[in-house]
Structure 1
Amino acid sequence: MTTKQEEALGELRQQIDSIDKQIHQLLNQRARCAQGVAEVKQEFQGEEDAVFYRPEREAQVLRRVMERNEGPLPDKEVARLFREIMSVCLALEQPMRVAFLGPEGTFTHQAALKHFGGSAVSAPLTSLDQVFREVEAGAAHYGVVPIENSTEGMATHTLDLFKRFNLQICGELELPIHHQLLAQAGTESSDVKTIYAHQESFAQCSNWLEQHYPQAAKITVNSNAEGARIAAGEQGAAAIAGDIAADLYKLEALARNIEDLPDNTTRFLILGNQDVGVSGKDKTSILLCAHDKPGALYSLLEPFHRHGISLTRIETRPGNGTGWSYMFYIDFEGHAEEPGVQEVLKELEAGSVELKLLGSYPQAVL
């Protein structure tokens, strides 16, 4: 290395050290402000009733971060950094206990970390029913549940649980599903004789597996994380799982992004016990019960068209009542506090057998 190069690098490194010091000071300054927010909320709302996590506020902050970003860092990477900063600061106010369908290392766990950041307390549970129950009882502050996949469709069990439990949808996020073929460090591709995965992952990677591992034994397990755990202790074995499982079980990727459809994405919902304010770019979800009669679906959808409200999802499920009733799960743009949405909800409530407002919440930012 030449003297001039050393001098040039030395100057840049001094600038980086100086910037790092400023960033550090500002981070602690932000953390002190977060502590002040907590003190104000506790003073005016009371310790028991104070609400520390505000989904609409965080969505607004992340949107502004991306809007003002000038590069060279990509918008979403900058927002991801701020997501972690907010997670750490929120933990100073109140550590969030977040329930999800376990075990650790699944895509749902990855979704929980993406939405709440690494400072949230993870609470893996054994069933979706338990996730709903823990949140409704207040044993967990929030829950993360899958609602639909771009290739597999709606998670019908999640929809059915919304009929049984009284919870609010507080947010949503979308997670690209990238499958990796994982194995112990030092494993060669030719060493793999057994592959573990959840049945859906086998289905989503079937073409790739047929091309690269037609002779390998495919063993179905309850979750990809379980497959990764087994592969971590078994020579000649591999597992299909995500990066979070690789980190958790110290596995290396023999092949990355082996899913047959590269745009495979799962949408998750955030469950809570609070109403969420207007963020400026929101969705609302409802359940509608209607009798099976001619024109029933048209009568439910017509008010949305008349008030210019865009539907983003509609799913039909069998109802539990008499008269061959059906339950419609509907997502649409807008917030329940907005006048146009309020008018639609009034008309639907007057015309349907039953309307259940599941919540209004910010549209996915990350």
Structure 2
Amino acid sequence: MDLGDLRKQIDSVDEQIVSLYEERMDICKHVAEVKIETGKKVFDREREKEKIARVKSLTHNDFNRTGIGELFEQIMSMSRKLQYQLLAEKGSMGRLPFIGVDSLEDDRGRVVFQGAEGAYSQAAMHQYFGEEVNSFHVDTFRDACCAIEEGSADFAVLPIENSTAGIVNEIYDLLVEFENYIVGEQIIRIEHCLLGVPGTRMEDIRTVFSHPQSLMQSARFLAEHDWKQISLPNNAFAARKVAQEGDCTQAAIASEYAGKVYGLEVLKKPVNQSETNSTRFIIITNQKIFRKDAKKVSICFEIAHESGSLYHMLSHFIYNNLNMTKIESRPIEGRNWEYRFFVDFDGNLADSAVKNALRGLRDEAQNMRILGNY
């Protein structure tokens, strides 16, 4: 038998597989109708485990056993997604506990930012809310979240990612710890300056203060000098410290605006290595709201610590034609080598495709949370 004949046999088998697949999907539609009528959940984990074990037992060698297991995992995953779509068409998806609003503008709203006068967070706040915003500042990111929790602030502005240094881990952890939601974002260009008290010379400097990420972003410049580097919680804190102590052996890496606020001299600018260095700030609140024109959704979830779990979660974006723009992971406290995943994707909570994907993710993931739509 030649290759052509063998390929014809494969084509014949493939045609049968396609026909049987479509027949199976037709039956799944009826299953969905029964579940809609009875209120049963689409995802039955134990039933699927039993099904996979049964079809694997029908094979005759280990290679086929593994292959059939993977194949039926995919078939059942596609069946679930079909059922979720039918649930959406029948209006059985349920409502998400978020309210769409036209804007976040509210003259009574109060905004908190981390740092001191002259911080990049303050600049991001002014760009988003305007110069006349009613605001105050706190020392730490946690303090900002607590200010919302206790009611002294309605919104907080927090840095979540830098284009050079990457994510701010603490912010991701605080998003999980506190019941806050992302309602906006603001990206600002970062241009770090080396600041000193007036009259300071480069050769006088012995110590440089700044935020850890700013030190990282300026690593090439700092490598040219034998200076002690000390981290502070905020760049503006560093500028304020240098100004208050008036010591020519000390310098700060911060913004030019921070230098003006504290009367410091710009010794060199920029000192960060990337000309396109930018930081993304998020605006959070404890209200479950989203702007009606929001275009990005952020979620987090945990999954079973087993092969294929993450793939099955991400497939919900594929089947609903949603563009996933970012994924990050953070360790789960108390569970060594297990991780919580954070995902950003394009969409609005009012979109049917987004609702469909979130329904599937909620049913199949562990502790899935919507972090915001903005």
Question: In structure 2, what is the Cα distance between the partners aligned to 1:310 and 1:160?
Answer: 24
The counterpart of 1:249, out of the listed 238, 262, 266, is 262
* 1:110 paired residue among 113, 118, 123: 123
TM-score, normalising length from structure 2?
0.66
User: Which whole-Å deviations, capped at 9, do the CAs of 1:237-278 have from their partners, x for residues lacking one?
Assistant: 432111231121022322211101222222111001331132
1:56-97 deviations in whole A, cap 9, x for unaligned? Answer: 547xxxxxxxxxxxxxxxxxxxxxxxxxxxxxxx6xx62432
Query: In 2, are the aligned partners of 1:292 and 1:324 still within 8 Å (CA)?
Result: no
Task: Identify which of 340, 343, 357 aligns with 2:356.
Answer: 343
> Aligned-pair distance for 1:334?
0.6
2:235 maps to which residue? 224
Q: Establish whether residue 143 from structure 1 lines up as the match of residue 156 from structure 2.
A: yes
Counterpart among 268, 287, 293 of residue 300 in structure 2 = 287
> How far apart in 2 are the matches of 1:321 and 1:220?
28
TM-score (norm 1): 0.67
Does residue 332 (structure 1) correspond to residue 364 (structure 2)? The answer is: no
Alpha carbons of structure 1 residues 314 and 220: separation in structure 2 relative to 1, 3 Å: closer
Aligned-partner Cα distance in 2 for 1:302–1:240: 44
Query: In structure 1, the residue corresponding to 2:182 is in which secondary structure?
Result: strand
Aligned partner of 1:319 in structure 2 is 332
**How many residues of Structure 1 are paired with residues of Structure 2 in the alignment?**
272
**Taking structure 1 as reference, are residues 218 and 325 closer, same or farther at Cα in structure 2, changes over 3 Å only?**
closer
Q: Name 1:166's counterpart in structure 2.
A: 179
In structure 2, relative to structure 1, the CA distance for the partners of 1:198 and 1:167 (3 Å cut) is closer
C-alpha distance in 2 between matches for 1:326 and 1:219: 31
How far has the Cα of 1:308 moved from its partner?
Answer: 1.2
> Is the alpha carbon distance of 1:273 and 1:347 closer, same or farther for their aligned partners in structure 2, counting shifts above 3 Å?
same
Would the aligned equivalents of 1:287 and 1:328 in 2 still touch at CA under 8 Å? yes
What are the equivalent positions in structure 2 for 1:84-95 lying under 5 Å apart?
94-95=107-108
Structure-2 residue corresponding to 1:124: 137
Among 199, 202, 213, the residue aligned to 1:200: 213
Change (3 A) 1:154 1:209: closer
**In the superposition, relative to structure 1, how do residues 272 and 222 fare at CA in structure 2: closer, same or farther (>3 Å)?**
closer
- 1:70 — aligned with what? none
Aligned residue number for residue 39 of structure 1: none
CA contact (8 A) 2:165 2:217 kept: no
Alpha-carbon distance in 2 for matches of 1:202, 1:132: 25
Q: Which has the larger radius of gyration?
A: 2
SS, match of residue 353 in structure 2: helix
Distance across 1 between alignment mates of 2:199 and 2:268 = 13
Following the alignment from structure 2 to structure 1, what is the Cα–Cα distance between the partners of residues 228 and 336?
49
Contact 2:116 2:237 in 1 (8 A): yes
Give the whole-Å Cα distance in 2 for the aligned partners of 1:105 and 1:116.
Answer: 16
Q: Does residue 260 of structure 1 match 2:303?
A: no
Q: 1:55/1:265 Cα in 2 relative to 1: closer, same or farther (>3 Å)?
A: farther
Structure 1: gaps of 5 or more residues: 1-53, 59-89, 362-366
Identity between Structure 1 and Structure 2 (%): 32
Cα contact 1:291–1:326 (8 A) shared by 2: no
Query: Structure 2 regions of 5+ residues with no counterpart?
Result: 1-99
1:278 matches 2:289: no
Distance 2:292 2:221 in 1: 44
Q: Which residue identity lines up with residue 291 of structure 2 in the other structure?
A: G
- Is the contact made by 1:291 and 1:324 (CA closer than 8 Å) also made in structure 2? no
Per-residue deviation, 1:188: 4.6
One-letter amino acid of the counterpart of residue 160, structure 1: D
Contact 1:146 1:155 in 2 (8 A): yes
Tell whether the 8 Å contact from 1:95 to 1:120 is kept in structure 2 after alignment: no
